[in-house]
Amino acid sequence: MRQGVLVRAEATHGPGEATLLARRAVEGGAELVVAAGGDGTINEVVNGLVHSRVPLAVLPGGTANVLANEIGLPLDLGEAAARLDSLVEERISVGMLCVGEQPPRHFLLMAGVGVDAQIVVSLDPNLKKRVGKLAYWLGGLGQLGRRLPEFTVRAAGRSFLSSFTLASRVRNYGGDIEIAPTASLLENDFEMVCFEGEESLLYLKYFTGVLTGQLSAMKGVSIVRADRIEFEPLPHSKVYVQVDGELAGLLPASTEILRDALTLLAPSTLRQRYATGKGVLGIG
């Protein structure tokens, strides 16, 4: 990829540090940044690289590895490292999330409002360390029987009432299942998947639709392409937002596409994977 270049490795020790290290690398004239870690760490690095021309390569770690699954990287860190020299540059758009009065936050994968963000809030970090992705499934089961707060979603000239909305740039969710079947890192929009209903048991039906590939035909589900989405809470309700698997705050919020914002190093087969519907689940 690049020969005779000084390599400098730095570890992170707390939230936000990866963003600062990536920004410092750009300012210092780095030719490449390699992020080793999970989707949350990669998200922080993206926030330090956005709008620069410095390419980002990833070595998958962490819990879900959604990005690695999406672009077709091996989930074994050693195997992924051995393939770095074969990766090619793709200039892509990213999402930008604005939550309340907080500074904007950029993301590669997805922003979720409602149910999945509530799961992130209630997640036991010690349980996550012990059982990995299973902790999220257990958190989801913990929502059953509860009444879910709804909120208003505005996108593509339409308005929706929802208890869970996903604004996704990728097809796979959590590295295991497909929720946004035509999303693409190479396009300039989100695939927005909007679920209606306060009754949490409805999500058993929705989950069946996900597993069978019938989600788009189900009553209560709307799938829309949009480059900007606005989320407003209903009066006296508290609704959380997550971005790339990390808590981002409470509604109100909005998300929009920033075009030509990041250079990502990906396998040369990425465009073919999307063209053939193989941009999910690590399919070769």
pLDDT value of position 1: 46
pLDDT value of position 233: 97
- Which tens digit of pLDDT belongs to each residue from 52-77? 999 999 999 876 689 999 999 998 88
The whole-chain average pLDDT of the chain stands at: 88
- Which tens digit of pLDDT belongs to each residue from 74-87? 988 899 999 999 99
- Which tens digit of pLDDT belongs to each residue from 7-29? 566 767 667 899 999 999 999 99
The whole-angstrom separation of Cα 98 and Cα 102 is 7
The whole-angstrom separation of Cα 228 and Cα 154 is 9
pLDDT value of position 42: 94
Q: Is residue 249 pLDDT above 60, yes or no?
A: yes
pLDDT value of position 121: 85
Best mean pLDDT range from 3-12, 139-148, 197-206: 197-206
How far, CA to CA in Å, does 45 sit from each of 35, 195, 196, 218, 244?
A: 7, 31, 34, 37, 12
Q: Is residue 196 pLDDT above 60, yes or no?
A: yes
Confidence of residue 275 (pLDDT cuts 50, 70, 90): confident
Q: Give percent of the chain with pLDDT exceeding 90.
A: 69
pLDDT value of position 6: 42
Q: Is residue 257 pLDDT above 50, yes or no?
A: yes
